[in-house]
Amino acid sequence: MTSVPLVSVFSADDSSKVTAKHIPLPAVFQTPIRPDIVSFVHTNIAKNRRQAHAVNPQAGMQHSAESWGTGRAVARIPRVSGSGTHRSGQAAFGNQCRKGRMSLPIKVWRRWHRRVNIKQKRHAAATAVAATGIVPLVLARGHRISQVPQIPLVVEDKIESYEKTTDALNFLKRFGAFEDVQKVVSTKVVRAGISKQRGKKYRVRKGPLVVYFNENAKLLKAFRNVPGVEVVNVTRLNLLQLAPGGQLGRFVIWTQSAFAHLDKLFGTYRYSSIIKDGYQLLRPLITNPDLARIINSNQVQEKVQPAKTTKVLHEVQKKNPLKNTKAMDRLNPYAKKQRAAAAAAIKANTKGTKKIKKNKALKKASRAAYNKVAASLNDATKAAVQEEQDIKVKYFSVQKGAAQTE
Amino acid sequence: MQIDEVVWQVINRGHCSFKIKTISQNFCRNEYNVTGLCSKQSCPLANSQYATIKEEKGLCYLYVKTAERAQKPKELWEKILLSKNYEQALAQIDEQLKYWSNFMIHKNKQRLTKLRQMLIRIRKMRLKGFKELIPIKKKAERRDKIREQKALVAANLENAIEQELIDRLKNGVYNEIMNYNTKAFEKVVGQNQMEDEEEREQQELEEEEEDYSDEELIFDPNDLEEDDDEEDQDDEEDDKRLFQKQTFNQLRRENDEVKDIKKKKPRVQLQYEEEEEVEDRKKQQIAF
């Protein structure tokens, strides 16, 4: 992680003054960023704040309705008994019926809360803390931190003794955190939906989270009334505050003692946590997540074989080498020369144009002969046909004569 | 450099507040984005080494971000003023982003070009002037129109004008004969009759001498043209109220000054029940 391994602590009164330079970054900030763990843990932990509610178990069932059965030309759904009112004979009880009870009515004994493994919860918290130290993640979450001198922002313990809200506000202004507060103020909207009638009139954004250490700190009251700002003790860091909505990268302002306490709280890669008994920070699967850099580095490229060209297994369309000269040449490179030699030989054998003429004459003679034969054959067939016809005629005339005489 | 990959995975797969998704493309709302598109190469968050061009008051600046300042958001972007000369500015970009990826250099140059062309266009428009399109807001227009009408009605303009004219009349602004609506005149006359009888008497006495001069003034230059109307001189009876004459004169003068109307003015016929004036009128005619 390229989190700055060294962090400066700022003076509470003057954002340009640094009271302590180069404090080492607690190991938590080097935890691998695991949005999957955070998302899982958040969705489950968020359910733990729910209060049981249910639908009235009798709702829709307060009738002595009975099904009329078959044979009455109505659906078999239970119908309200009695008479004298519109309601009688109307369908009841079913989820599909008007005024019927809902299907699977909500019971109080629904499993409202979820338990999550402690280790998972701790990993999630650690990741969330790490994410608060990464500027792009805080920006992407939507915090206005472009005027903040440093992330993670660590301030001397003096702010823990702030009692007045004006002090708190001025402090935020000095450190460029007021822009975030202004964002909260300007984006406060009346909530859509019925929740506004149930005590949740406004939707308010999250602003900075101030983390302190000493239990006697009065800053809780000083920051309480500043919109969007939340105050929490280090020992009670809450994932729901560190990653609101399951989204990593809350803007956090640490006090010096709180910051120093993080090592004890989460432990380091050298020793496991003191407070979270036996908890060891998550180790990354891959220490340098920048794969592109690794692959393109000299050390890797040296060992890597050159990229293979694509192998052509066969032609897209089969060409017959006996007919297609190019296909033939592909198979037998000498074929070209053979062909050339053959052509030359043929040319050499033929002598002038006489032979050609002779051939023509021959052709003509043979053709004439053929025609003669064909003609004679023709005549012969014609004669034969004529003869046959004569015979036929004779025969039939004889027949006729025979018939006539009879 | 190491985190960039991780950041991109988280932002792209998860939620990024600057990303705008459309059917065909994803855009990036971040002010420092070179291309405006959401992609790994052009994401200012997912690249610890990044550069953009931004324009401020007609000047182009090159904003550069390096991994060294990654943890200090306030000092993150180094702002370098680019030369006003286009070619020099391109050279500056080349120099500042030497050995950077071609993508970054190329996109910055493209952005510079685009911004400069925009600035040229702005300057042209300022010099030439341009038609500013203002939307017509139906609701507002409708509302104003109706209010205007109401205001017009509420103002009682006619009444106010009438009052003003009457006041002028009283004040003696009009000396000559004026063309007026008979009904209105009679109304006014009635009023004056009620109010200023004493005054009238006094003025009559005072202004007898002025009669002639007034008569001259009364003489309507337009009347000369109308020979047919000499018969109507008998009917011309206007000496009952001398002060009215004066006002009418004044009115006429005003009329002429204003060059109001060249229309033929009808002879005004006044008939009074009182016959005392007849003699005076005769006198006037003689004076003619």
Please name the member of A142, A149, A152 whose beta carbon is closest to the beta carbon of B74.
Answer: A149
> Under DSSP, is residue A67 helix (H, G, I), strand (E, B) or coil?
strand
Q: Are A34 and A40 a contacting pair, CB within 8 Å?
A: no
Percent of chain A with pLDDT over 90: 76
| Per-residue pLDDT tens over the stretch A275-321 | 999 999 999 998 888 888 899 999 999 999 988 888 888 888 999 99
What crossing angle do the helices spanning B157-171 and B242-258 adopt, rounded to 10°?
120
Chain A residues with CB under 8 Å of B6 CB are 32-33, 289
Chain A residues with CB under 8 Å of B18 CB are 139-140
Note whether A290 contacts B48, CB cutoff 8 Å: no
Chain A residues with CB under 8 Å of B17 CB are 139-142
Chain B residues with CB under 8 Å of A248 CB are 10, 14
CA distance B95 to chain A (A): 24
Note whether B7 contacts A293, CB cutoff 8 Å: no
Q: Are A328 and A335 a contacting pair, CB within 8 Å?
A: yes
Q: Are A81 and A64 a contacting pair, CB within 8 Å?
A: yes
DSSP structural state of residue A104: S
Q: Please, what is the Cα angle at B271 between B266 and B272, to 5 degrees?
A: 145
Please name the member of B6, B13, B74 whose beta carbon is closest to the beta carbon of A289.
Answer: B6
Cα(B270)–Cα(B189) distance, rounded to whole angstroms? 11
CA distance A46 to chain B (A): 18
**ipTM, 2 decimals?**
0.71
What lies within 8 Å, CB to CB, of B12 at 6+ separation is B38, B40, B46
User: Helices H, strands E: what count in chain A?
Assistant: 13, 10
Note whether B2 contacts A136, CB cutoff 8 Å: no
Q: Are A237 and A280 a contacting pair, CB within 8 Å?
A: no
CA distance B78 to chain A (A): 13
The number of residues in chain B equals: 288
Burial of A321 (C-beta count, 10 Å sphere; 0-12/13-18/19+)? middle
DSSP structural state of residue A147: T
Q: Are A23 and A259 a contacting pair, CB within 8 Å?
A: yes
Chain B residues with CB under 8 Å of A289 CB are 2-3, 5-6
Cα(A11)–Cα(A16) distance, rounded to whole angstroms? 8
Higher pLDDT, B93 or A381: B93
Cα(A362)–Cα(B213) distance, rounded to whole angstroms? 148
pTM of the full structure: 0.66
What lies within 8 Å, CB to CB, of A143 at 6+ separation is A180, A183, A207, A208, A249, A250, A251
What lies within 8 Å, CB to CB, of A381 at 6+ separation is none
| Per-residue pLDDT tens over the stretch A114-146 | 999 999 999 999 999 999 999 999 999 999 999
Instruction: Write out the residues of chain B at the interface with chain A, using a CB-CB cutoff of 8 A.
Output: 1-7, 9-11, 13-18, 45-46, 48, 67, 70-76
Token digits for B145? 């129109």
CA distance A301 to chain B (A): 19
**Phi, psi (degrees; rounded to nearest 5) at A46:** -65, -25
Question: Tens of pLDDT along chain B (288 residues)?
Answer: 568 999 999 999 999 999 999 999 999 999 999 999 999 999 999 999 999 999 999 999 999 999 999 999 999 999 999 999 999 999 999 999 999 999 999 999 999 999 999 999 999 999 998 888 999 999 999 999 999 999 999 888 888 898 888 888 778 777 766 666 777 777 777 776 766 666 666 666 655 544 444 444 455 555 554 444 444 444 455 555 566 666 667 777 766 655 555 555 566 677 766 555 555 555 555 554
What crossing angle do the helices spanning A35-45 and B2-13 adopt, rounded to 10°?
40
Question: A293 — contact with chain B (CB < 8 Å)?
Answer: yes
Token digits for A372? 């003669």
Cα(B89)–Cα(A107) distance, rounded to whole angstroms? 71
Note whether A141 contacts B17, CB cutoff 8 Å: yes
Beta-bridge mates of residue B21: B26
Cα(B48)–Cα(B67) distance, rounded to whole angstroms? 5
